[in-house]
Amino acid sequence: MAKHIIGRIQEQSILKNCYDSEKAELIAVYGRRRIGKTFLIKNFFKDKFDFYITGIYQGTKKEQLTFFNRQLCEYSQTPYPQVENWFDAFDQLKHYISSIKKERVVIFIDELPWLDTPRSRFTKAFELFWNSWASDQSKLKLIVCGSATTWMMSHLLGNKGGLHNRVTRRIKLSPFTLAEVEEFLKHNGIDWNRHQIAEAYMILGGTPYYLQMLQKGYSLSQNIDYLFFSENAELRDEYSILFKSLFNESSIYRSTVELLSRKAKGMTRAEMISALKLSEGGAFSEVLENLSNCDFIRKYTAFGKKERDVLYQLTDLFTLFFLRFVKNNNGGDEHLWTNMLDAPERRTWSGYSFEQLCLHHIPQIRQGLGISGIQSDVCSWTTPATENHRGVQIDLLINRKDQIVNLCEMKYSTNEYEITKRYNDELQERKETFRKVTKTRKALHLTMVTTYGIKDNAYSGMIQSQITLDDLFK
């Protein structure tokens, strides 16, 4: 029975347009493990598949071909003989598709990279199948899907050979937004307030697979204890599995994110190469691109800097939580998260994780400020201390074409956030330092992004605009 699809409005629109089109479509769906790629395709097309196969993780060539043959025989109701290579397998698929008397033929190959075992020549056979025949079949809608991002980018989406520019539509599936998480949890019978939902997002991110593990009838803290800290916790091994399934040579990817987890403001490519003791070359650029494509990191340019000064920052909330609290935890306290409720380490994490949550919702912040239609760049800014001023770091700047720069402060709080005299003085000093060092002539608007807004007092009037948690749910 098909299940309800939460969100994914744009992706469903693309799939519908491809299904309705009058030409052959090769649709590539990619994104990190657990993000809901298979769920989306299966539940959008429901009973429309004319052939479906999924690759076998670490399966041999023979195992992959055997399963392919079994699926082909089942869907076609024809006893196709077992073959020993992918060229013959795709010839059989071609024969079967030709026999289907329908206006639309939907083929779904899930986990495509896993079919490409060493020396199997799978890619060459797939390339020949599409270029020599399938691309001319206007009724054919071929959807391929894969979590192994390195393979999808290099062998399919970035292919320089026979598959170059052959993908007709690409769909990158990203994590849920807060609004989609709220809808997802309600659909699963979990009725939490928005502060609790935000904290769940700060731990699990917008990954549907992790979110569906949350159990109704239990508090968020109880759920987190169960998923990460209990005996045989379901998500304790997820971190290592995640990287192995996504990337070839996963150790360099893990080393990169673990390095970035210790550098809150981010690092340049050159700084990471030096810290990781890597040789200069293009291979590391591919690592960074793949991490970015899987939503582990973001790259951004500091205000007034050029592209070569781009910074990379770890923004994947699940990874940040895991590395901070789970990776080096030796067990013993199955209620660790509940018992850390008032711990300083948890408060520090909450502040930083909330900042990352905000950075995942820049469109909502722009909408809340009423500037969605104004061209703007999102960046950060930092300057070292000098004799004339203290060092300043501003994690979120919105540099607008209407001659305004929003200097955004992101603060996590369980109540209204109170601006003290000391903090107000810091804000004003930060603002004037930014103006002096950058020599900008634009108007500078202090903007607060908080959970429950700003407490009204003698200093709250210094803030030109504010965004609350409710705005981030829009």
User: What are the residue boundaries of the structural domains of the chain, listed by start?
Assistant: 9-172, 176-360, 366-472
Are 25 and 18 spatial neighbours (Cβ–Cβ below 8 Å)?
yes
Which 8-state DSSP code applies to residue 177?
A: P
Q: How sure is the predictor about 2, in pLDDT bands with cuts at 50, 70 and 90?
A: low
Are 197 and 219 spatial neighbours (Cβ–Cβ below 8 Å)?
no
Q: What is the pLDDT of residues 14-35, one digit of tens each?
A: 999 999 999 999 999 998 889 9
Query: If one looks up domain 9-172 in CATH, what number appears?
Result: 3.40.50.300
Mean pLDDT in residue range 254-281: 91
Please state at what angle helix 283-293 crosses helix 250-260, rounded to 10 degrees: 70
**E strands in 319-391:** 376-383
Q: How sure is the predictor about 283, in pLDDT bands with cuts at 50, 70 and 90?
A: confident
What is the model's pTM? 0.91
Q: What is the pLDDT of residues 173-216, one digit of tens each?
A: 999 999 999 999 999 999 999 999 999 999 999 999 999 999 99
Q: What share of the chain is helix, strand, coil (3-state, %, to 5)?
A: 45, 15, 40
Give the best-scoring range by mean pLDDT among 215-229, 237-251, 295-309, 330-344. Answer: 215-229
Q: What are phi and psi of 180, to 5 degrees?
A: -70, -35
What is the residue whose two structure tokens read 């390195």?
150
| Domain boundaries 366-472, CATH class | alpha beta
Are 438 and 392 spatial neighbours (Cβ–Cβ below 8 Å)?
no
> Nearest Cα to 6, choosing from 206, 217, 219?
206
Q: What is the pLDDT of residues 307-361, one digit of tens each?
A: 667 889 999 999 999 999 999 888 778 999 999 988 999 999 999 999 999 999 9
What is the residue whose two structure tokens read 């890597």?
278
Q: Which CATH fold topology does 176-360 show?
A: Arc Repressor Mutant, subunit A (1.10.10)
Q: What is the pLDDT of residues 127-139, one digit of tens each?
A: 999 999 999 999 9
